[in-house]
Structure 1
Amino acid sequence: MHRLPVHAACTILTLSLAGPLSAQDATHRTAIISAFPPEIAALQDGLTDTATQTLNGVSFTTGQLAGQQVVMFMSGVSMVNAAMTTQLALDHFTIDRILFSGIAGGVDPDLAIGDVVIPGQWGQYLQGVAARDTDGAFAMPPWMTSAFPNFGMTFTVPFGVMADGLSEPDMSFWFPVDPDLLTLAQTVAADVALSDCTPDQACLTKAPKIVVGGNGVSGPMFVDNAALRQHAFATFDAQVLDMESAAVAQVAFANGTPFIAFRSLSDLAGGGEGANEMGTFMALAATNAATVIRAVVAALD
Protein backbone atom coordinates (compact mmCIF):
# COMPACT_ATOMS: atom_id res chain seq x y z
CA MET A 1 0.00 0.00 0.00
CA HIS A 2 1.17 3.49 -0.77
CA ARG A 3 -0.49 5.74 1.77
CA LEU A 4 -0.62 7.22 5.23
CA PRO A 5 -2.47 5.13 7.82
CA VAL A 6 -6.20 5.74 7.82
CA HIS A 7 -8.15 4.88 10.96
CA ALA A 8 -11.53 3.60 9.87
CA ALA A 9 -13.95 0.91 10.88
CA CYS A 10 -14.22 -2.11 8.64
CA THR A 11 -16.68 -4.94 9.13
CA ILE A 12 -16.02 -8.23 7.36
CA LEU A 13 -19.55 -9.26 6.41
CA THR A 14 -21.06 -11.61 9.01
CA LEU A 15 -18.37 -12.84 11.35
CA SER A 16 -18.87 -15.73 13.72
CA LEU A 17 -16.90 -18.08 15.92
CA ALA A 18 -14.65 -15.24 17.08
CA GLY A 19 -11.95 -16.38 19.43
CA PRO A 20 -8.26 -17.13 19.79
CA LEU A 21 -6.49 -19.05 17.04
CA SER A 22 -4.80 -22.20 18.27
CA ALA A 23 -4.05 -25.28 16.15
CA GLN A 24 -3.26 -24.86 12.46
CA ASP A 25 -6.23 -24.76 10.11
CA ALA A 26 -5.77 -27.77 7.80
CA THR A 27 -8.08 -26.53 5.03
CA HIS A 28 -6.16 -25.49 1.93
CA ARG A 29 -6.82 -21.80 1.32
CA THR A 30 -5.83 -18.82 -0.77
CA ALA A 31 -4.67 -15.91 1.39
CA ILE A 32 -6.09 -12.56 0.31
CA ILE A 33 -4.42 -9.60 1.98
CA SER A 34 -4.97 -5.86 2.03
CA ALA A 35 -3.17 -3.36 4.18
CA PHE A 36 -5.94 -1.25 5.68
CA PRO A 37 -9.76 -0.99 5.93
CA PRO A 38 -10.70 0.84 2.69
CA GLU A 39 -8.81 -1.77 0.67
CA ILE A 40 -10.22 -4.86 2.33
CA ALA A 41 -13.74 -3.40 2.28
CA ALA A 42 -13.57 -3.45 -1.52
CA LEU A 43 -12.90 -7.21 -1.40
CA GLN A 44 -15.83 -8.23 0.79
CA ASP A 45 -18.50 -8.50 -1.91
CA GLY A 46 -19.15 -12.20 -2.49
CA LEU A 47 -17.35 -13.48 0.61
CA THR A 48 -19.60 -16.13 2.20
CA ASP A 49 -19.62 -18.77 4.95
CA THR A 50 -17.40 -16.55 7.06
CA ALA A 51 -15.80 -17.20 10.40
CA THR A 52 -13.28 -15.03 12.23
CA GLN A 53 -10.35 -16.01 14.41
CA THR A 54 -7.83 -13.74 16.09
CA LEU A 55 -4.15 -14.04 16.86
CA ASN A 56 -1.95 -11.32 18.31
CA GLY A 57 -4.83 -8.91 17.78
CA VAL A 58 -5.07 -9.65 14.05
CA SER A 59 -8.42 -10.84 12.68
CA PHE A 60 -8.37 -13.64 10.11
CA THR A 61 -11.62 -14.26 8.25
CA THR A 62 -12.07 -17.60 6.55
CA GLY A 63 -14.78 -18.29 4.00
CA GLN A 64 -15.50 -18.78 0.34
CA LEU A 65 -14.93 -16.28 -2.45
CA ALA A 66 -15.87 -17.14 -6.03
CA GLY A 67 -16.02 -20.80 -5.06
CA GLN A 68 -12.56 -20.83 -3.47
CA GLN A 69 -11.61 -21.41 0.15
CA VAL A 70 -9.87 -18.24 1.35
CA VAL A 71 -8.50 -16.53 4.42
CA MET A 72 -8.74 -12.75 4.30
CA PHE A 73 -6.93 -10.34 6.61
CA MET A 74 -5.31 -6.93 6.88
CA SER A 75 -1.53 -6.82 6.92
CA GLY A 76 -1.36 -3.40 8.48
CA VAL A 77 0.47 -0.50 6.86
CA SER A 78 4.25 -0.74 6.29
CA MET A 79 6.89 -3.31 5.53
CA VAL A 80 7.30 -4.62 9.08
CA ASN A 81 3.56 -5.06 9.68
CA ALA A 82 3.10 -6.77 6.32
CA ALA A 83 5.94 -9.22 6.92
CA MET A 84 4.79 -9.98 10.45
CA THR A 85 1.14 -10.66 9.65
CA THR A 86 1.94 -12.67 6.51
CA GLN A 87 4.22 -15.00 8.45
CA LEU A 88 1.59 -15.22 11.19
CA ALA A 89 -0.95 -16.40 8.62
CA LEU A 90 1.46 -18.94 7.11
CA ASP A 91 2.19 -20.36 10.54
CA HIS A 92 -1.47 -20.96 11.39
CA PHE A 93 -3.25 -21.65 8.09
CA THR A 94 -2.59 -24.03 5.21
CA ILE A 95 -2.01 -21.45 2.49
CA ASP A 96 -1.52 -22.49 -1.12
CA ARG A 97 -0.95 -19.00 -2.51
CA ILE A 98 -0.89 -15.35 -1.44
CA LEU A 99 -2.75 -12.59 -3.29
CA PHE A 100 -2.33 -8.96 -2.22
CA SER A 101 -4.89 -6.33 -3.23
CA GLY A 102 -4.45 -2.62 -2.67
CA ILE A 103 -3.64 0.86 -3.87
CA ALA A 104 -0.30 2.29 -4.94
CA GLY A 105 1.51 5.37 -6.17
CA GLY A 106 2.12 5.56 -9.89
CA VAL A 107 5.74 5.80 -11.01
CA ASP A 108 5.71 5.06 -14.74
CA PRO A 109 4.60 8.25 -16.55
CA ASP A 110 2.67 6.10 -19.05
CA LEU A 111 0.30 5.02 -16.27
CA ALA A 112 -2.66 6.94 -14.89
CA ILE A 113 -4.78 6.94 -11.75
CA GLY A 114 -7.19 3.99 -11.68
CA ASP A 115 -4.92 1.69 -13.69
CA VAL A 116 -4.27 -1.73 -12.14
CA VAL A 117 -0.67 -2.96 -12.25
CA ILE A 118 0.31 -6.59 -11.61
CA PRO A 119 4.13 -6.51 -11.49
CA GLY A 120 6.24 -9.53 -12.32
CA GLN A 121 8.71 -8.80 -9.52
CA TRP A 122 9.14 -6.67 -6.42
CA GLY A 123 12.14 -5.06 -4.73
CA GLN A 124 12.83 -3.04 -1.57
CA TYR A 125 14.18 0.18 -3.04
CA LEU A 126 14.61 2.11 0.23
CA GLN A 127 16.54 -0.61 2.06
CA GLY A 128 20.24 0.07 2.23
CA VAL A 129 22.77 2.59 3.45
CA ALA A 130 22.64 6.24 4.44
CA ALA A 131 26.11 7.18 3.18
CA ARG A 132 28.64 9.62 4.55
CA ASP A 133 29.18 12.99 2.86
CA THR A 134 32.88 13.12 2.06
CA ASP A 135 34.22 16.15 0.20
CA GLY A 136 30.82 16.97 -1.23
CA ALA A 137 30.01 13.45 -2.44
CA PHE A 138 28.21 10.55 -0.78
CA ALA A 139 30.19 7.34 -0.40
CA MET A 140 29.40 4.04 1.29
CA PRO A 141 31.90 2.29 3.57
CA PRO A 142 34.58 0.64 1.43
CA TRP A 143 33.38 -2.89 2.23
CA MET A 144 29.86 -2.21 0.87
CA THR A 145 28.59 -1.96 -2.70
CA SER A 146 25.33 -1.18 -4.47
CA ALA A 147 24.14 -2.27 -7.89
CA PHE A 148 22.06 0.89 -8.27
CA PRO A 149 22.68 4.65 -8.52
CA ASN A 150 22.14 6.46 -5.24
CA PHE A 151 19.40 8.93 -4.37
CA GLY A 152 21.37 11.53 -2.45
CA MET A 153 22.80 9.85 0.62
CA THR A 154 20.66 6.73 0.10
CA PHE A 155 22.18 3.65 -1.56
CA THR A 156 19.99 0.59 -2.16
CA VAL A 157 21.50 -2.60 -0.75
CA PRO A 158 19.74 -5.97 -0.24
CA PHE A 159 20.67 -7.70 3.01
CA GLY A 160 19.56 -11.20 2.10
CA VAL A 161 16.96 -13.71 3.21
CA MET A 162 17.20 -17.33 4.28
CA ALA A 163 14.97 -20.14 3.05
CA ASP A 164 14.91 -23.95 3.12
CA GLY A 165 17.75 -25.40 1.09
CA LEU A 166 20.00 -22.34 1.39
CA SER A 167 23.30 -22.46 3.25
CA GLU A 168 23.65 -18.68 3.15
CA PRO A 169 21.26 -15.78 2.55
CA ASP A 170 19.90 -15.15 -0.92
CA MET A 171 21.09 -11.63 -1.78
CA SER A 172 18.76 -11.02 -4.72
CA PHE A 173 17.17 -7.59 -4.98
CA TRP A 174 14.13 -8.74 -6.97
CA PHE A 175 11.55 -11.23 -5.72
CA PRO A 176 9.60 -12.64 -8.68
CA VAL A 177 5.88 -13.32 -8.37
CA ASP A 178 4.56 -16.77 -9.19
CA PRO A 179 4.70 -17.23 -13.00
CA ASP A 180 1.53 -19.32 -13.16
CA LEU A 181 -0.45 -16.70 -11.24
CA LEU A 182 0.98 -13.98 -13.48
CA THR A 183 -0.10 -15.92 -16.57
CA LEU A 184 -3.56 -16.42 -15.10
CA ALA A 185 -3.81 -12.68 -14.38
CA GLN A 186 -2.87 -11.94 -17.98
CA THR A 187 -5.55 -14.33 -19.21
CA VAL A 188 -8.42 -12.91 -17.15
CA ALA A 189 -7.42 -9.24 -17.56
CA ALA A 190 -8.99 -8.96 -21.00
CA ASP A 191 -12.47 -9.61 -19.60
CA VAL A 192 -12.36 -7.31 -16.55
CA ALA A 193 -14.13 -3.95 -16.61
CA LEU A 194 -12.70 -1.26 -14.31
CA SER A 195 -14.43 1.72 -12.68
CA ASP A 196 -13.65 5.22 -13.95
CA CYS A 197 -15.77 7.37 -11.60
CA THR A 198 -16.10 7.64 -7.84
CA PRO A 199 -19.53 7.59 -6.13
CA ASP A 200 -19.19 11.40 -5.91
CA GLN A 201 -18.74 11.51 -9.69
CA ALA A 202 -15.08 12.42 -9.68
CA CYS A 203 -14.14 10.78 -12.96
CA LEU A 204 -10.84 9.83 -14.52
CA THR A 205 -9.65 11.62 -17.64
CA LYS A 206 -8.47 8.32 -19.16
CA ALA A 207 -10.17 4.93 -19.14
CA PRO A 208 -8.25 2.75 -16.65
CA LYS A 209 -6.32 -0.25 -17.92
CA ILE A 210 -4.67 -3.38 -16.54
CA VAL A 211 -0.91 -3.79 -16.94
CA VAL A 212 0.56 -7.24 -16.32
CA GLY A 213 4.31 -7.56 -15.75
CA GLY A 214 7.08 -5.09 -15.05
CA ASN A 215 8.50 -3.97 -11.72
CA GLY A 216 7.11 -2.81 -8.41
CA VAL A 217 9.08 -1.36 -5.50
CA SER A 218 8.18 -1.05 -1.84
CA GLY A 219 9.53 0.97 1.05
CA PRO A 220 8.68 2.14 4.57
CA MET A 221 7.64 5.68 3.58
CA PHE A 222 4.59 7.27 1.99
CA VAL A 223 5.94 8.96 -1.13
CA ASP A 224 4.66 12.31 -2.36
CA ASN A 225 7.91 13.52 -3.89
CA ALA A 226 8.51 14.03 -7.60
CA ALA A 227 12.28 13.56 -7.37
CA LEU A 228 12.04 10.22 -5.55
CA ARG A 229 9.34 9.12 -7.97
CA GLN A 230 11.64 9.90 -10.89
CA HIS A 231 14.50 8.02 -9.19
CA ALA A 232 12.31 4.94 -8.72
CA PHE A 233 11.40 4.97 -12.41
CA ALA A 234 14.86 5.72 -13.79
CA THR A 235 16.78 3.39 -11.46
CA PHE A 236 14.43 0.42 -11.03
CA ASP A 237 12.19 0.81 -14.09
CA ALA A 238 9.32 0.63 -11.60
CA GLN A 239 5.70 1.01 -12.60
CA VAL A 240 4.36 1.45 -9.07
CA LEU A 241 5.53 1.89 -5.50
CA ASP A 242 3.86 0.94 -2.24
CA MET A 243 4.59 0.10 1.39
CA GLU A 244 4.00 -3.65 1.68
CA SER A 245 4.23 -5.82 -1.44
CA ALA A 246 8.00 -6.48 -1.49
CA ALA A 247 7.89 -7.45 2.18
CA VAL A 248 5.14 -9.99 1.50
CA ALA A 249 7.06 -11.21 -1.56
CA GLN A 250 10.13 -11.86 0.62
CA VAL A 251 8.12 -13.77 3.21
CA ALA A 252 6.49 -15.81 0.43
CA PHE A 253 9.94 -16.61 -0.99
CA ALA A 254 11.24 -17.71 2.40
CA ASN A 255 8.25 -20.03 2.82
CA GLY A 256 8.12 -21.31 -0.75
CA THR A 257 4.58 -19.98 -1.22
CA PRO A 258 3.31 -18.60 -4.57
CA PHE A 259 2.68 -14.83 -4.42
CA ILE A 260 1.25 -12.08 -6.60
CA ALA A 261 0.12 -8.49 -5.93
CA PHE A 262 -2.55 -6.37 -7.60
CA ARG A 263 -2.05 -2.63 -7.17
CA SER A 264 -4.27 0.13 -8.52
CA LEU A 265 -3.00 3.70 -8.73
CA SER A 266 -4.66 6.03 -6.23
CA ASP A 267 -2.14 8.83 -6.86
CA LEU A 268 1.05 9.70 -8.74
CA ALA A 269 3.46 9.67 -5.77
CA GLY A 270 4.17 13.38 -6.11
CA GLY A 271 4.19 13.47 -9.89
CA GLY A 272 0.81 15.17 -10.34
CA GLU A 273 0.29 18.82 -11.11
CA GLY A 274 -1.66 19.55 -7.92
CA ALA A 275 -2.04 18.12 -4.44
CA ASN A 276 -1.74 14.39 -3.84
CA GLU A 277 -4.71 12.63 -5.43
CA MET A 278 -5.16 9.75 -2.98
CA GLY A 279 -7.94 11.38 -0.95
CA THR A 280 -10.10 11.59 -4.07
CA PHE A 281 -9.36 8.30 -5.80
CA MET A 282 -8.47 5.88 -2.98
CA ALA A 283 -11.82 4.08 -3.02
CA LEU A 284 -11.92 3.87 -6.82
CA ALA A 285 -8.41 2.42 -6.94
CA ALA A 286 -9.15 -0.09 -4.18
CA THR A 287 -12.28 -1.18 -6.03
CA ASN A 288 -10.39 -1.68 -9.29
CA ALA A 289 -7.70 -3.80 -7.64
CA ALA A 290 -10.37 -5.86 -5.89
CA THR A 291 -12.29 -6.36 -9.14
CA VAL A 292 -9.24 -7.88 -10.82
CA ILE A 293 -8.31 -10.06 -7.86
CA ARG A 294 -11.85 -11.50 -7.64
CA ALA A 295 -11.67 -12.42 -11.33
CA VAL A 296 -8.36 -14.20 -10.73
CA VAL A 297 -9.72 -16.06 -7.70
CA ALA A 298 -12.72 -17.19 -9.73
CA ALA A 299 -10.38 -18.59 -12.39
CA LEU A 300 -8.21 -20.61 -10.00
CA ASP A 301 -8.24 -24.39 -10.36
Structure 2
Amino acid sequence: MKLLVLNCHEAWIHQLGVLCAELDIVVGLPGRYTQGWDTRMRPLPDGARTVTLDEVRQHGTAYDCVINHNITDLLDTKFLDAPKLLVLHDTLEGRMAQQDAEFDARDMRAMLNSYLATVGGHAIAISRSKARSWGVTHAVVHNSADPEAYLPWIGDVACGLRVANHVTSKRVFLAWDFHEEALAGLPLRIVGHNPDLAGVEAADSWDHLKRMLASHRFLVHTADPRYEDGVNMAVLEAMAAGMPVLTNRHPTTIVEHGVTGFVAESPAEMRAHAERLLADQGLAAELGANARALIARYHSPDRFRVEFTKAIGEARKKWARRRGRGMALGR
Protein backbone atom coordinates (compact mmCIF):
# COMPACT_ATOMS: atom_id res chain seq x y z
CA MET A 1 0.00 0.00 0.00
CA LYS A 2 1.33 3.43 -0.97
CA LEU A 3 0.02 6.47 0.90
CA LEU A 4 0.47 10.21 0.53
CA VAL A 5 0.07 12.18 3.75
CA LEU A 6 0.36 15.93 4.18
CA ASN A 7 2.47 16.83 7.19
CA CYS A 8 0.42 18.22 10.04
CA HIS A 9 2.05 16.99 13.24
CA GLU A 10 5.02 14.62 13.38
CA ALA A 11 3.75 12.80 16.47
CA TRP A 12 0.45 11.95 14.79
CA ILE A 13 1.97 10.95 11.47
CA HIS A 14 4.52 8.72 13.20
CA GLN A 15 1.62 6.47 14.20
CA LEU A 16 1.15 5.56 10.53
CA GLY A 17 4.29 3.46 10.73
CA VAL A 18 2.18 0.60 12.13
CA LEU A 19 0.43 0.33 8.75
CA CYS A 20 3.62 -1.07 7.19
CA ALA A 21 2.90 1.03 4.10
CA GLU A 22 5.05 3.14 1.81
CA LEU A 23 4.57 6.68 3.08
CA ASP A 24 5.23 9.82 1.08
CA ILE A 25 5.04 12.73 3.54
CA VAL A 26 4.46 16.16 2.02
CA VAL A 27 6.66 18.87 3.55
CA GLY A 28 7.27 22.50 2.62
CA LEU A 29 3.68 23.45 3.43
CA PRO A 30 2.83 27.05 4.42
CA GLY A 31 1.88 27.93 7.97
CA ARG A 32 4.25 25.55 9.76
CA TYR A 33 7.19 26.59 11.93
CA THR A 34 9.47 24.31 9.92
CA GLN A 35 9.59 23.56 6.20
CA GLY A 36 10.83 20.01 6.65
CA TRP A 37 10.20 17.07 8.94
CA ASP A 38 11.02 17.97 12.56
CA THR A 39 13.21 15.08 13.73
CA ARG A 40 13.18 16.51 17.25
CA MET A 41 9.56 15.45 17.57
CA ARG A 42 9.78 12.05 15.88
CA PRO A 43 12.05 10.17 13.51
CA LEU A 44 10.58 9.42 10.11
CA PRO A 45 8.35 6.32 10.29
CA ASP A 46 9.69 3.13 8.73
CA GLY A 47 9.04 3.10 5.00
CA ALA A 48 8.60 6.87 4.81
CA ARG A 49 10.24 9.62 2.77
CA THR A 50 9.55 13.34 2.43
CA VAL A 51 8.35 14.95 -0.80
CA THR A 52 6.92 18.29 -1.91
CA LEU A 53 3.64 18.80 -3.72
CA ASP A 54 5.56 19.95 -6.79
CA GLU A 55 7.46 16.65 -6.82
CA VAL A 56 4.18 14.74 -6.50
CA ARG A 57 2.81 16.64 -9.51
CA GLN A 58 5.94 16.01 -11.57
CA HIS A 59 6.29 12.30 -10.89
CA GLY A 60 2.66 11.29 -11.30
CA THR A 61 2.89 8.62 -8.61
CA ALA A 62 -0.23 6.50 -8.06
CA TYR A 63 -1.42 6.40 -4.45
CA ASP A 64 -3.81 4.03 -2.74
CA CYS A 65 -5.01 6.87 -0.51
CA VAL A 66 -4.24 10.55 0.13
CA ILE A 67 -4.47 11.60 3.79
CA ASN A 68 -5.53 15.22 4.35
CA HIS A 69 -6.04 17.19 7.55
CA ASN A 70 -8.10 20.22 6.55
CA ILE A 71 -9.95 21.83 3.66
CA THR A 72 -6.78 23.48 2.36
CA ASP A 73 -5.16 20.05 2.07
CA LEU A 74 -8.15 18.74 0.11
CA LEU A 75 -7.87 21.63 -2.33
CA ASP A 76 -4.08 21.26 -2.62
CA THR A 77 -4.45 17.57 -3.55
CA LYS A 78 -7.39 18.08 -5.88
CA PHE A 79 -5.14 17.32 -8.87
CA LEU A 80 -4.62 13.74 -7.63
CA ASP A 81 -7.09 11.16 -8.90
CA ALA A 82 -6.94 8.98 -5.81
CA PRO A 83 -9.02 8.11 -2.73
CA LYS A 84 -9.12 11.00 -0.24
CA LEU A 85 -9.25 10.60 3.54
CA LEU A 86 -9.81 13.68 5.71
CA VAL A 87 -8.64 13.46 9.34
CA LEU A 88 -10.25 16.04 11.64
CA HIS A 89 -7.85 17.00 14.43
CA ASP A 90 -9.62 20.14 15.69
CA THR A 91 -13.15 21.15 16.58
CA LEU A 92 -14.84 23.45 14.10
CA GLU A 93 -15.39 25.93 16.92
CA GLY A 94 -11.70 25.86 17.80
CA ARG A 95 -10.65 26.31 14.19
CA MET A 96 -13.00 29.28 13.79
CA ALA A 97 -11.73 30.90 16.99
CA GLN A 98 -8.08 30.46 15.96
CA GLN A 99 -8.74 32.07 12.59
CA ASP A 100 -11.13 34.78 13.88
CA ALA A 101 -13.49 33.41 11.26
CA GLU A 102 -16.68 35.23 10.39
CA PHE A 103 -18.35 32.46 8.37
CA ASP A 104 -21.31 30.52 9.73
CA ALA A 105 -20.47 27.08 11.14
CA ARG A 106 -23.50 25.56 9.39
CA ASP A 107 -22.30 26.88 6.06
CA MET A 108 -18.85 25.37 6.64
CA ARG A 109 -20.32 21.97 7.52
CA ALA A 110 -22.52 22.03 4.42
CA MET A 111 -19.64 23.08 2.17
CA LEU A 112 -17.32 20.36 3.49
CA ASN A 113 -20.00 17.70 3.23
CA SER A 114 -20.72 18.72 -0.36
CA TYR A 115 -17.04 18.71 -1.31
CA LEU A 116 -16.44 15.27 0.20
CA ALA A 117 -19.41 13.93 -1.74
CA THR A 118 -18.12 15.51 -4.95
CA VAL A 119 -14.63 13.96 -4.71
CA GLY A 120 -15.80 10.72 -3.12
CA GLY A 121 -13.87 11.51 0.06
CA HIS A 122 -14.23 9.97 3.50
CA ALA A 123 -13.77 11.78 6.82
CA ILE A 124 -12.77 10.54 10.25
CA ALA A 125 -12.11 12.40 13.49
CA ILE A 126 -9.62 11.71 16.27
CA SER A 127 -12.36 11.99 18.92
CA ARG A 128 -16.14 11.82 19.22
CA SER A 129 -16.36 15.47 20.22
CA LYS A 130 -14.51 16.53 17.07
CA ALA A 131 -16.71 14.30 14.92
CA ARG A 132 -19.82 15.91 16.45
CA SER A 133 -18.39 19.39 16.01
CA TRP A 134 -17.94 19.04 12.25
CA GLY A 135 -21.06 16.99 11.63
CA VAL A 136 -19.70 15.28 8.50
CA THR A 137 -18.75 11.89 9.98
CA HIS A 138 -19.45 9.49 12.81
CA ALA A 139 -16.20 7.60 12.25
CA VAL A 140 -13.58 8.02 14.98
CA VAL A 141 -10.02 6.68 15.04
CA HIS A 142 -8.44 7.46 18.40
CA ASN A 143 -4.74 8.21 18.68
CA SER A 144 -2.43 5.56 20.06
CA ALA A 145 0.69 5.10 22.15
CA ASP A 146 2.81 2.01 22.74
CA PRO A 147 3.91 1.48 26.37
CA GLU A 148 6.72 -0.74 25.10
CA ALA A 149 8.23 2.24 23.24
CA TYR A 150 8.96 4.11 26.48
CA LEU A 151 11.50 3.80 29.25
CA PRO A 152 10.53 2.39 32.65
CA TRP A 153 9.10 5.21 34.77
CA ILE A 154 11.18 6.27 37.77
CA GLY A 155 9.84 9.72 38.65
CA ASP A 156 12.89 10.65 40.68
CA VAL A 157 12.69 14.30 39.58
CA ALA A 158 10.16 16.01 41.88
CA CYS A 159 8.88 18.25 39.11
CA GLY A 160 5.81 18.33 36.90
CA LEU A 161 5.94 18.32 33.09
CA ARG A 162 3.80 20.14 30.55
CA VAL A 163 4.16 19.41 26.82
CA ALA A 164 2.62 22.16 24.68
CA ASN A 165 3.44 24.14 21.54
CA HIS A 166 2.46 27.72 20.65
CA VAL A 167 1.11 28.44 24.13
CA THR A 168 0.79 32.20 23.62
CA SER A 169 -1.55 31.88 20.63
CA LYS A 170 -3.50 29.03 22.26
CA ARG A 171 -3.92 30.31 25.82
CA VAL A 172 -7.70 30.07 25.73
CA PHE A 173 -7.71 26.62 24.12
CA LEU A 174 -5.22 25.30 26.69
CA ALA A 175 -7.04 26.89 29.66
CA TRP A 176 -3.70 28.50 30.46
CA ASP A 177 -5.08 30.83 33.12
CA PHE A 178 -6.19 27.75 35.07
CA HIS A 179 -2.75 26.20 34.53
CA GLU A 180 -0.90 29.30 35.73
CA GLU A 181 -3.06 29.88 38.79
CA ALA A 182 -2.81 26.24 39.82
CA LEU A 183 0.92 25.73 39.42
CA ALA A 184 2.57 29.13 39.94
CA GLY A 185 5.73 28.70 41.99
CA LEU A 186 5.71 24.89 41.91
CA PRO A 187 8.44 22.89 40.16
CA LEU A 188 7.24 22.56 36.56
CA ARG A 189 9.01 22.15 33.23
CA ILE A 190 7.30 23.25 30.02
CA VAL A 191 8.49 21.50 26.86
CA GLY A 192 7.57 22.51 23.32
CA HIS A 193 8.03 24.97 20.48
CA ASN A 194 7.40 28.30 22.19
CA PRO A 195 10.04 30.79 20.99
CA ASP A 196 8.37 33.67 22.85
CA LEU A 197 8.49 31.96 26.26
CA ALA A 198 11.78 32.49 28.08
CA GLY A 199 13.51 29.31 29.18
CA VAL A 200 11.11 27.03 27.32
CA GLU A 201 12.53 24.72 24.66
CA ALA A 202 11.40 21.74 22.64
CA ALA A 203 12.92 18.36 23.39
CA ASP A 204 16.14 17.66 21.49
CA SER A 205 14.67 14.41 20.19
CA TRP A 206 11.98 11.83 20.90
CA ASP A 207 14.52 9.95 23.02
CA HIS A 208 15.08 13.13 25.04
CA LEU A 209 11.33 13.46 25.59
CA LYS A 210 11.15 9.82 26.68
CA ARG A 211 13.84 10.46 29.29
CA MET A 212 11.86 13.41 30.64
CA LEU A 213 8.68 11.34 30.77
CA ALA A 214 10.54 8.65 32.70
CA SER A 215 12.12 11.00 35.22
CA HIS A 216 9.46 13.63 36.00
CA ARG A 217 6.77 13.09 38.62
CA PHE A 218 3.58 13.88 36.69
CA LEU A 219 2.18 15.43 33.50
CA VAL A 220 -0.17 18.42 33.42
CA HIS A 221 -2.90 18.91 30.83
CA THR A 222 -5.54 21.64 30.85
CA ALA A 223 -7.99 22.46 28.07
CA ASP A 224 -11.09 24.57 27.50
CA PRO A 225 -13.98 22.16 26.71
CA ARG A 226 -15.44 24.68 24.25
CA TYR A 227 -12.50 24.29 21.91
CA GLU A 228 -10.29 21.34 22.77
CA ASP A 229 -10.38 17.76 24.03
CA GLY A 230 -9.37 16.68 27.48
CA VAL A 231 -6.79 14.33 25.98
CA ASN A 232 -4.04 14.82 23.40
CA MET A 233 -0.94 13.00 22.20
CA ALA A 234 1.11 14.26 25.16
CA VAL A 235 -1.39 12.76 27.61
CA LEU A 236 -1.36 9.41 25.82
CA GLU A 237 2.43 9.37 25.74
CA ALA A 238 2.77 10.27 29.40
CA MET A 239 0.31 7.61 30.48
CA ALA A 240 1.98 5.03 28.23
CA ALA A 241 5.26 5.93 29.93
CA GLY A 242 3.73 5.30 33.36
CA MET A 243 3.14 8.91 34.45
CA PRO A 244 0.08 10.09 36.37
CA VAL A 245 -1.76 13.04 34.83
CA LEU A 246 -3.19 16.17 36.45
CA THR A 247 -6.03 17.75 34.49
CA ASN A 248 -8.90 20.16 34.88
CA ARG A 249 -12.47 18.85 34.90
CA HIS A 250 -13.32 18.06 31.28
CA PRO A 251 -16.10 15.94 29.72
CA THR A 252 -13.68 14.08 27.42
CA THR A 253 -10.78 13.39 29.78
CA ILE A 254 -9.57 9.79 29.99
CA VAL A 255 -8.02 10.43 33.42
CA GLU A 256 -9.86 8.59 36.19
CA HIS A 257 -9.66 10.59 39.40
CA GLY A 258 -7.55 8.87 42.02
CA VAL A 259 -6.80 5.94 39.69
CA THR A 260 -4.67 7.22 36.79
CA GLY A 261 -4.16 10.77 38.04
CA PHE A 262 -6.25 13.58 39.46
CA VAL A 263 -9.07 15.66 37.96
CA ALA A 264 -9.35 19.14 39.48
CA GLU A 265 -12.49 21.26 39.72
CA SER A 266 -10.46 24.38 40.50
CA PRO A 267 -6.88 25.68 40.34
CA ALA A 268 -6.65 25.29 44.11
CA GLU A 269 -7.56 21.60 43.82
CA MET A 270 -4.98 21.03 41.10
CA ARG A 271 -2.33 22.71 43.22
CA ALA A 272 -3.14 20.45 46.17
CA HIS A 273 -2.92 17.35 43.97
CA ALA A 274 0.38 18.53 42.49
CA GLU A 275 1.86 19.12 45.94
CA ARG A 276 0.72 15.67 47.01
CA LEU A 277 2.41 13.97 44.06
CA LEU A 278 5.57 16.02 44.47
CA ALA A 279 5.79 14.74 48.04
CA ASP A 280 4.79 11.11 47.34
CA GLN A 281 6.74 9.27 44.65
CA GLY A 282 5.09 5.97 45.59
CA LEU A 283 1.60 7.33 44.94
CA ALA A 284 2.74 8.70 41.58
CA ALA A 285 4.13 5.26 40.69
CA GLU A 286 0.84 3.56 41.59
CA LEU A 287 -1.27 5.96 39.54
CA GLY A 288 1.18 5.86 36.66
CA ALA A 289 1.09 2.06 36.50
CA ASN A 290 -2.70 2.21 36.20
CA ALA A 291 -2.37 4.83 33.48
CA ARG A 292 0.04 2.63 31.52
CA ALA A 293 -2.37 -0.31 31.70
CA LEU A 294 -5.25 1.84 30.46
CA ILE A 295 -3.29 2.93 27.38
CA ALA A 296 -2.24 -0.64 26.62
CA ARG A 297 -5.88 -1.71 26.73
CA TYR A 298 -7.67 1.11 24.91
CA HIS A 299 -5.09 3.03 22.85
CA SER A 300 -2.76 0.38 21.47
CA PRO A 301 -1.03 0.72 18.08
CA ASP A 302 -2.75 -2.51 16.99
CA ARG A 303 -6.15 -0.95 17.59
CA PHE A 304 -5.10 2.17 15.68
CA ARG A 305 -3.84 0.02 12.79
CA VAL A 306 -7.12 -1.89 12.49
CA GLU A 307 -9.31 1.22 12.72
CA PHE A 308 -7.20 3.33 10.37
CA THR A 309 -6.95 0.54 7.81
CA LYS A 310 -10.75 0.34 7.89
CA ALA A 311 -10.94 4.11 7.30
CA ILE A 312 -8.66 3.82 4.27
CA GLY A 313 -10.91 1.04 2.98
CA GLU A 314 -13.97 3.28 3.31
CA ALA A 315 -12.18 6.08 1.47
CA ARG A 316 -11.33 3.70 -1.37
CA LYS A 317 -14.94 2.46 -1.59
CA LYS A 318 -16.37 5.97 -1.76
CA TRP A 319 -13.81 7.02 -4.36
CA ALA A 320 -14.56 3.96 -6.49
CA ARG A 321 -18.31 4.66 -6.35
CA ARG A 322 -17.80 8.30 -7.31
CA ARG A 323 -15.46 7.28 -10.11
CA GLY A 324 -17.99 4.76 -11.36
CA ARG A 325 -20.73 7.39 -11.46
CA GLY A 326 -18.42 9.76 -13.30
CA MET A 327 -17.60 7.15 -15.94
CA ALA A 328 -21.29 6.34 -16.37
CA LEU A 329 -21.96 10.02 -17.03
CA GLY A 330 -19.05 10.22 -19.47
CA ARG A 331 -16.92 12.53 -17.29
Same fold (TM over 0.5): no
Q: Which has the higher contact order (CA 8 A, sep 6+)?
A: 1
TM range (shorter): 0.3 to 0.5
> With structure 2 as the length reference, what TM-score do the two structures score?
0.31
User: Which protein has the larger Cα radius of gyration, Structure 1 or Structure 2?
Assistant: 2
Higher strand content, 1 or 2:
1
